[in-house]
């Protein structure tokens, strides 16, 4: 009995101690520098230690804010000289936390961005445009618009850096992608509810969240009924957001960490895709049809077998949609069966608000001819309100040409196509894991889908899809710089979560 007591009394001989473990630290009874340091370390660990689970929580919360809270509809009720929108507050808070963590947490090191050069080139083109038109912008009182545009872009661009810094493991990547996809399915479902009931649940968030409404949503009609807005600023923006996340849902149907059984996984994410398509139908958007067609053709060229499999599911779905929702279906697809009528509809009311997209081309190119290289300056075009000095284009590429000139268009091409090209190149390198080559291809298709949709709406003015673009680019940066190699061992030690066979066991990549 005395021997047992002696062992319990001695910290060096206890059964739970290792020979190399340091003795426990004894804090002074009355406090002091040592206890203060320990308290500081515990606070730092609790707040700033971005373990994979905490990074996943931060990114999931960010994804929820981006996809669920409509931009320019709500503000945080804080007395400020400007409306503090929720996405701005969340982004700034995460930027501060990540910045402090990088400074004081030695385990939280900087991660490479991968797309820094094209991003910098794009930003420089806008700054050059402002500098080239500084005199005119100042004389016309548009300097605040230029500064505001640069500030908005800086906030959105920071999402790429935040996403990349928080993605520290495959599990965190899976968490973010699953959150974005499931949230988009929820948005698609409530878009369908809105189409049927004319009630938008996302415009009622202030009833149970500490938010104040800035303005109500507008109304848009097509096919004899209202088009759904859901959490987006416009039905077109809603449809583009859902289109961008369809490739991610298809990827997760095979490689998600949950459900464990592959058949259940395919059923679950197949249901998410169905909800996304319902949301697109509720938006009644021809832009979505063109975007999906381009994305499908790209899959068919790059992955013919996958393209054929998707076509075998898509064709019956199209037939069912034509039978169940004939009016929205005709509005979305019917115009493409009569090209002459479709082109004529896009040439209506030239020079007026609501003019067809083709009707805007001649007056727009007339303006561009006077300032072809640097445009009129970023933020110089005002299309709504009493101070409006231009017209709505519904074409981001053309809008960029007018504001930032040919140099700006080149900047956008570099911003979008360089990352997409690098991701496609990654997808065809046999040395990489099949899981991450599939993810790279899905991300590239989403980016190209966004670039396609830019021909049909003012994409950079609709922040939900704009922010989603940079979230996906952040995931792409992780794939290019940190994705596990083909023959890495998968297991709990690595923190990697991959698809499992039906028995639920983990396996090697490849």
Question: Is the residue at 475 inside a domain?
Answer: yes
| Domain-embedded: residue 508 | no
pLDDT at 287 over 70: yes
The span from the CA of 106 to the CA of 283, in Å, is 48
Please report whether residue 77 resides in a domain.
yes
Whether 244 and 450 have beta carbons less than 8 Å apart is answered as yes
**Which residues, other chains included, contact 10 with Cβ-Cβ below 8 Å and sequence gap of 6+?**
none
Reply yes or no on whether the pLDDT at 492 is more than 50.
no
Mapping DSSP onto H, E and C, the string for 183-250 reads HHHHHHHHHHHHHHHCCCHHHCHHHCCCCEECCCCCCCEECCEECCCCCCCCHHHHHHHHHHHHHHHH
Residue 504 in any domain: the answer is: no
Chain segment 22-61, per-residue pLDDT in tens: 444 444 444 455 565 565 555 555 544 555 567 888 999 9
Residue partners of 151: CB distance under 8 A and separation at least 6: none
For residue 334, give the DSSP letter.
Answer: I
Question: Which residues make Cβ contacts (< 8 Å) with residue 44, sequence separation at least 6?
Answer: 104, 105
Continuous H helices in 10-115: 33-48, 52-68, 86-104
With b for 16 or more beta-carbon neighbours within 10 A and e for fewer, the 114-145 pattern comes to bbeebbebbbebbebbbebbeeebeeeebbeb
List, for residues 391-428, the tens digit of each pLDDT value. 678 889 998 998 999 999 999 999 999 999 999 999 99
Q: Is residue 404 part of a domain?
A: yes
Question: Collapsing DSSP states into helix, strand and coil, what is residue 292?
Answer: helix
Q: Half-sphere exposure of residue 112, counting CA atoms within 13 Å on the CB side?
A: 10
Q: Is residue 10 part of a domain?
A: no
What one-character DSSP code corresponds to residue 461? Answer: G
Check: pTM over 0.75? Answer yes or no: yes
Give the β-pairing of 212-213 and 225-226: unpaired
Residue 429 lies in a domain: yes
Does residue 356 contact residue 347 with C-beta atoms inside 8 Å? Answer: yes
Number of folded domains that form the chain = 1
The residue segments making up the domain with residue 442 are: 49-481
What is the distance between the alpha carbons of residues 487 and 433, in angstroms, rounded to a whole number?
Answer: 7
Domain assignment present for residue 78? The answer is yes
pLDDT in tens, 335-372: 666 666 666 666 665 555 555 667 677 777 888 888 88
Sequence-distant (≥ 6) Cβ neighbours of residue 311 within 8 angstroms: 296, 300
């Amino acid at each position: 009995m005395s021997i047992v007591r002696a062992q319990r009394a001695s910290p060096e001989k206890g059964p739970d101690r290792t020979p190399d473990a340091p003795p426990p630290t004894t804090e002074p009874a009355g406090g002091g520098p040592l206890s203060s340091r320990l308290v500081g370390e515990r606070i730092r660990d609790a707040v700033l230690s971005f373990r994979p689970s905490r990074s996943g929580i931060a990114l999931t919360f960010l994804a929820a804010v981006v996809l669920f809270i409509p931009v320019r509809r709500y503000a945080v009720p804080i007395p400020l000289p400007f409306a503090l929108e929720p996405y701005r507050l969340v982004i700034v808070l995460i930027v501060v936390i990540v910045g402090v963590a990088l400074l004081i947490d030695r385990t939280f090191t900087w991660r490479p961005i991968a797309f820094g050069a094209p991003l910098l080139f794009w930003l420089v083109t806008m700054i050059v445009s402002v500098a080239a038109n500084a005199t005119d912008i100042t004389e016309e009182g548009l300097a605040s618009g230029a500064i505001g545009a640069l500030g908005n872009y800086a906030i959105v661009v920071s999402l790429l850096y935040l996403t990349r810094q928080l993605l520290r493991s495959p599990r965190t990547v899976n968490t973010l992608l699953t959150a974005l996809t499931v949230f988009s399915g929820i948005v698609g479902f409530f878009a369908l509810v809105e189409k049927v009931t004319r009630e938008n649940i996302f415009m009622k968030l202030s009833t149970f969240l500490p938010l104040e409404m800035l303005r109500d949503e507008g109304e848009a009609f097509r096919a004899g009924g209202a088009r759904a807005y859901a959490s987006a600023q416009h039905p077109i923006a809603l449809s583009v957001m859902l289109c961008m996340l369809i490739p991610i849902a298809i990827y997760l149907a095979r490689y998600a960490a949950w459900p464990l059984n592959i058949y259940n996984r395919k059923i679950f994410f197949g249901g998410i895709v169905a909800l996304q398509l319902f949301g697109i139908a509720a938006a009644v958007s021809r832009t979505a049809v063109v975007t999906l067609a381009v994305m499908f053709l790209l899959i068919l060229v790059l992955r013919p077998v996958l393209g054929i499999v998707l076509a075998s599911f898509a064709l019956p779905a199209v037939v069912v949609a034509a039978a169940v929702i004939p009016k929205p279906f005709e509005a979305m697809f019917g115009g493409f069966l009569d090209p002459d009528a479709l082109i004529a509809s896009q040439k209506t009311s030239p020079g007026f608000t609501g003019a067809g997209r083709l009707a805007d081309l001649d007056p727009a190119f007339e303006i561009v001819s006077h300032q072809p290289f640097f445009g009129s300056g970023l933020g110089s075009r005002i299309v709504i309100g009493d101070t409006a000095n231009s017209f709505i284009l519904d074409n981001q590429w053309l809008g960029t040409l007018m504001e930032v000139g040919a140099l700006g268009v080149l900047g956008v091409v570099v911003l979008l196509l360089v990352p997409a090209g690098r991701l496609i190149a990654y997808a065809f390198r046999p040395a990489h894991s099949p899981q991450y080559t599939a993810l790279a291809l899905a991300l590239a298709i989403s980016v190209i889908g966004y670039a396609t949709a830019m021909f049909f709406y003012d994409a950079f003015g609709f922040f939900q899809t704009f922010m989603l673009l940079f979230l996906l680019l952040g995931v792409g940066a992780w794939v290019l710089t940190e994705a596990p190699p083909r023959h890495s061992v998968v297991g709990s030690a690595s923190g990697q979560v991959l698809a499992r066979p039906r028995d639920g066991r983990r396996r090697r990549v490849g």
